[in-house]
Amino acid sequence: MKKHYLVVAASIALAGAVSATAFAGGPVDEELVIDGEIQMTTRTAAPEGHPLDEVISGWHYRTKETRALEADTFENPAMLGVEDGEQIWNTVEGTEGKSCASCHGDASESMAGVGAHFPKWDADSGRPINIELQINKCREERMGAEPYAFDKGGQKPLTAYIKHQSLGEPVSLDLAEGDMQSWWDKGKELYYTRFGQLNLSCSNCHEDHNGEYIRADHLSQGQVNGFPTYRLKQAALVSVHNRFRGCIRDTRAEYPAAFSDELMALEVYVTWRGTGLSVETPAVRQ
């Protein structure tokens, strides 16, 4: 009788091992080429001081169908948002009678490569700013227009349009600018701090368990090189601070306000963790 139990236990263990292999979703070994033209860097050696050996884009962790959507700009549903952004770029707003284009001209030239290096140090406010905040700064100071509230108005499409001009450019941050290093430190501390009733830090999922499942969801490294990203779940562009807040909320913690010091520090640090990956904006995710 005892022997019989053992056999059963062994076969259960075996079944477990088999299904784990069948469903284990490490990153797929494929290459992302946009429209058969732009070769993307989606895996690269990690920068010095990085806890992982290799940084891997979230694209590798998604299903075949989702990956295909991103590889073809015609099928990428977020390209409609990018086109909206182009319209906003050329639309005059505010008391100064200016549009983005009035100063910056053709975005495909003036913004080429720009989005790959945000967040940047902003000496005026004494803190790092991302593209969203840079847009708001321009709107207030140059256009005489109201700044966009978080995720409202043209913030997401315009951010996506600007960052899309850097498609394929490797992400890199200049930590020597201003006080960026101390914000990086603060961001790192947050990344490893456990939050919420579930007592989870960013690293618990995205560093320790990427490639594995959390319930039905498939954990990636949590790279932000494709933001604003199109999430099929929301059927809309999703900003990086929205996603940060969503992740923190899911740990059952109270989440900080968008563009707060906490989330800006986290954006600096998490962007750095994806150093060398191509900008994929707008990426398509689950």
Partner 1 sequence: MAAVKPRVKVPKSASAGEVITIKTLISHPMESGQRKDNDGNAIPRQIINKFTCEFNGQMVFSCDIDPAVSANPYLEFTAKVNEAGSFKFTWVDDDGSVYTDEKEIALK
Please give the torsion angle defined by the CA atoms of residues 49, 52, 53 and 55, in that order, rounded to the nearest 10 degrees. Answer: -100
Q: Which residues are catalytic?
A: 247
> Whose Cβ is closer to partner 1: residue 79's or residue 138's?
79
The per-residue DSSP string of 126-161 comes to TEEE-HHHHHHHHIIIII--PPPPTT-TTHHHHHHH
Cβ atoms 28, 212 nearer than 8 A: no
> Whose Cβ is closer to partner 1: residue 17's or residue 80's?
80
> Whose Cβ is closer to partner 1: residue 89's or residue 121's?
89
> Whose Cβ is closer to partner 1: residue 5's or residue 74's?
74
- Name the minimum Å distance from CB 80 to partner 1: 6
Q: In whole angstroms, how far apart are CA 284 and each of 31, 132, 226?
A: 15, 20, 8
Residues at the contact surface with partner 1, assessed by CB under 8 A: 74-75, 77, 80, 83-84, 87
CB half-sphere exposure, 189, CA atoms < 13 A: 10
Largest CA distance in the chain: 87
- Name the minimum Å distance from CB 35 to partner 1: 10
- Name the minimum Å distance from CB 77 to partner 1: 7
